[in-house]
A = this chain, B = another copy of it.
Amino acid sequence: MLIKKLGEFGLIERFKKSIKTDLSVIKGSGDDCAVLKLDKSNYQLFTCDMLVEDVDFTLKDNPYLVGRKAVAVSISDIASCSGEPRYCVISLGLPKNTKIGFLDKLFEGMSDICREYKVNIVGGDLSGNNRIVIDVSMLGVVEKKHLTLRSGAKPGDIIFVTGSFGGSLAGKHLKFTPRLKEARNLARGFRINAMIDVSDGLTQDLSHILKQSKVGAVIYEDLIPKSKEAVGLNDVLSSGEEFELLFTISRPQARKLFKNPEYKPIGEIMKIGYGFKLVNSNGREINIRPKGFTHF
């Protein structure tokens, strides 16, 4: 059997089953970051993201933005757990005929975003390869009381997002701003029940929250902020690499958020029996089969 038959998520489930971790691991595989014991009031966050030439970028893309993206995706993972990024190591697989100029720009993009977000580049590994592969592993820290996982959504919660959806392929996937400031502001001022960053697609990532929180949801077509580059509803619902925050919060807490234009309510968490539905512009309820990007 080939892995494409099992699919990306099937493969992850297959691996996860056999993994055992000790008591210092608060949350292992299956969230945006691993969560590890650190000290009395903080957890450590640990995440990795691999970018591959011709999958996540091409040689025609601006190498500065490719380098920036390689780091930004991990910052986005840390943000979605409400933490602050601190350190990263970078593994690079490179063809022998890679141009120095390309690499200089790639590295400038990496070091600029690290400076901007106060991330220390502390090491790396170089290897030969026939395509460019960039893997960034990042450490962060989060106050125990602020940690947000995918598993905390409760029926009655309001579902919010940052930004707009459907613009990824038009260039956003290379230029997005990791929502660190927003995540930290939310952590400080509100009690967030569940959070994820939209990397696979809005409905697919929401379905990760639903599955891990054992709840259902309804979202409203007319409430979802659409990027002006979006190509129809399907693009809005399933476009990957948007790197916006998707989170749920209780109704009393939500009241204080409605006036803030940075966060838009798009729906509501329901009991699990309800399923996952979209109310379209005509007021009709449609069952959602989550769609988005998968590698296999």
Expressed in whole angstroms, the minimum distance between the Cβ of A212 and any Cβ of chain B is 14
In the assembled complex, the Cα of A108 lies from the Cα of B17 at a distance in Å of: 12
Copies of this subunit: 2
Q: Which residue of B lies closest to A110 (CB)?
A: B15
B133 to A133, Cβ gap below 8 A?
yes
Looking across the interface, which residue of chain B has its beta carbon closest to that of A120? B21
Q: In chain A between 14 and 39, which residues have their CB closer than 8 angstroms to a CB of chain B? A: 14-15, 18-22, 24-25, 28-31, 33-34, 36, 39
The answer to whether A127 touches B89 (Cβ under 8 A) is: no
Instruction: From known contacts A98-B3, A100-B1, A100-B2, infer whether A127 and B11 are also in contact, taking CB-CB under 8 Å.
Output: no
Q: Which of the segments A49-57, A236-244, A256-264, A283-291 contacts the partner chain? A: A49-57
Report the bound CA distance from A16 to B25 in whole Å.
32
A145 contacts partner chain B, Cβ-Cβ < 8 Å: no
The 5 tightest CB contacts between A and B, nearest first, are: A137-B137, A34-B122, A50-B91, A135-B135, A34-B123
How far apart are the CA atoms of A90 and B46 in the complex, in Å? 11
Q: Are the CB atoms of B135 and A2 closer together than 8 Å? A: no
In the complex the two chains form, what is the Cα distance from A166 to B223 in whole Å? 66
A99 located at the interface, meaning its Cβ lies under 8 Å from any Cβ of chain B in the complex: yes
A156 is an interface residue with CB less than 8 A from chain B: no
Q: Are A25 and B55 in contact (CB under 8 A)?
A: no
Q: Which residues of B contact A96 (CB under 8 A)?
A: 2-4, 296
**A222 interfacial contact with B, CB 8 Å:** no
Task: Give the size category of A's interface with B.
Answer: 35 or more
Is A135 a contact of B50 with CB atoms below 8 Å?
yes
A111-B18, A120-B25 given; A46·B2 CB < 8 A = no
Instruction: Give the residue of B46, B94, B115 whose beta carbon is less than 8 angstroms from that of A3.
Output: B94
Choose among A98, A115, A295 the residue with the greatest number of B CB atoms under 10 Å from its CB.
Answer: A295
* Alpha-carbon separation in the docked complex, A22 to B122 (Å): 10
Could you mark each residue 90-107 of chain A with 1 if its beta carbon is under 8 Å from any beta carbon of chain B, else 0?
A: 111110111111011001
Q: Does A48 contact B (CB under 8 A)?
A: yes
